[in-house]
Amino acid sequence: MNSFEGRPCCCESADQSTAIESADQPARPATAKYVLVVAALVAVWWLIYSHLHAFAEWFTHLLSHLTGFSYESHLGRAIAFFIFDTPKVLMLLTLVVFAVGIVRSFFTPERTRSILAGKRESAGNVLAALLGTVTPFCSCSAVPLFLGFVTTGVPLGVTFSFLISAPMVNEIALVLLYGLFGWRVAAIYMATGLFIAIVAGWVIGRLKMERHLEEWVYQIQAGKVDLDDGPKNWVERIQYGFQAVREIVGRVWLFVMAGIAVGAAIHGYVPEGLMASFMGKSAWWSVPLSVLIGIPMYSNAAGIIPIVQALLEKGAALGTVLAFMMSVIALSLPEMIILRKVLKPRLIVTFIGVVGLGILLVGYVFNYLM
């Protein structure tokens, strides 16, 4: 028998190499084209963003002359807040969603599930909370993610660390907080949010509440939950970023404008001392009340942050405002309704109770320290 029989000849190897190179060649110009387009758009974005304050001042003064209201009046201050913050928040949101869309293309739900599967609870809670900050999550994806994690061996407590962290400590919230309040507030929010996600997941895991999942969850075979594998190359990743902008910004811009309108009303009409007396450090009941007010609200980080900005400007305590924001994002009523499809009432109540206690602790600690 010929010793070379069954092996590819050198001609075949050369032909295959040529085919691979020719397949890669069209991809390189396409990638360069997308990178140039993105660079040009970022330059235009920065040019507009750097002149927003001057534009808002000019437009508000122009509007006051045309309509007759005083720029220094309550209405004038509210309009100035709205005109400046609306494009500012929407532009920040667009840039962040695009950049994070590219980052998220490396951390698909399927990959996240494989990373968390088999991890011990202590390390798993920390890793799940950290992964929650960069992976795709919204209320509508809660059920398939939950099923995908539980049916492939991810411990229940680790799964909850992820479910808490993903909406609450998401990168959109962090970047908007940094853009509006600076790194200190953003770092505080991230640290406390991760703390709540890690500890709450660990506590739920220690309670051994797997029996409080709906019975049909365990009837699903591992690996049968369909989670998107995500893009494969840089052209697809950039396209994924643009798609994220269309889907996320297109879905939340109305909530953002509604939040900015509420913030503008607070900024223009609420007296300076009112928020200090209602949501200040001296009122012990302000933290639990802010949590109770936040739970039934339906919003997201992008929509609630303008309200947070206005509350802080009017004298509300940082801990109370953080507790309010966390309750809106992490304990929203719509998400609880969706999770009811896979969790029995006792487990949902436990989840709300543990996370709620963590949020209360954060509120009181920061009101005491700051």
Domain-located, residue 12:
no
Distances (CA, A) of 157 to 47, 120, 333: 46, 10, 21
The closest alpha carbon to 126, from 208, 194, 209, belongs to 194
Whether residue 193 is predicted with pLDDT greater than 60 in this model: the reply is: yes
Domain-located, residue 257:
no
At residue 10, the pLDDT reads: 43
DSSP string, 176-206: HHHHHH-HHHHHHHHHHHHHHHHHHHHHHHH
Spatial separation of the C-alpha atoms in residues 95 and 45, rounded to whole Å = 8
Mean residue pLDDT of the chain comes to 75
Domain-located, residue 133:
yes
- Neighbour tally for 169: CB within 10 Å: 27
The closest alpha carbon to 279, from 322, 246, 236, 341, belongs to 322
Distances (CA, A) of 332 to 256, 335, 362: 17, 6, 18
- For the segment 62-79, the average pLDDT, to the nearest whole number, is 81
Domain-located, residue 64:
no
Domain-located, residue 198:
yes
- Helices of type H across 245-282: 250-269, 272-279
Spatial separation of the C-alpha atoms in residues 21 and 28, rounded to whole Å = 11
- For the segment 282-303, the average pLDDT, to the nearest whole number, is 77
Spatial separation of the C-alpha atoms in residues 51 and 149, rounded to whole Å = 46
Spatial separation of the C-alpha atoms in residues 214 and 150, rounded to whole Å = 12
Spatial separation of the C-alpha atoms in residues 152 and 8, rounded to whole Å = 40
Q: Three-state SS for 170?
A: coil
Provide the residue range defining the domain that includes 129. 105-230+270-369
Domain-located, residue 256:
no
Contact, 330 vs 359, CB < 8 A? yes
Give the residue, 155 or 2, on which the prediction is more confident.
Answer: 155
- Neighbour tally for 68: CB within 10 Å: 7
Whether residue 262 is predicted with pLDDT greater than 70 in this model: the reply is: yes
Spatial separation of the C-alpha atoms in residues 157 and 345, rounded to whole Å = 17
The confidence band for 301, taking pLDDT boundaries of 50, 70 and 90, is low
Length of the chain: 370
Structure tokens at 186: 């953003």
- As for how many domains the chain has, the answer is 1
**Portion of the chain with pLDDT greater than 90, in percent:** 1
The confidence band for 323, taking pLDDT boundaries of 50, 70 and 90, is confident
- For the segment 102-109, the average pLDDT, to the nearest whole number, is 69
* Least confident interval from 162-166, 223-227, 288-292: 223-227
The confidence band for 44, taking pLDDT boundaries of 50, 70 and 90, is very high
Domain-located, residue 97:
no
The confidence band for 43, taking pLDDT boundaries of 50, 70 and 90, is very high
At residue 141, the pLDDT reads: 58
Domain-located, residue 307:
yes
- For the segment 289-304, the average pLDDT, to the nearest whole number, is 75
* Distance linking the first and last C-alpha atoms of the chain: 84
Structure tokens at 289: 């009340």
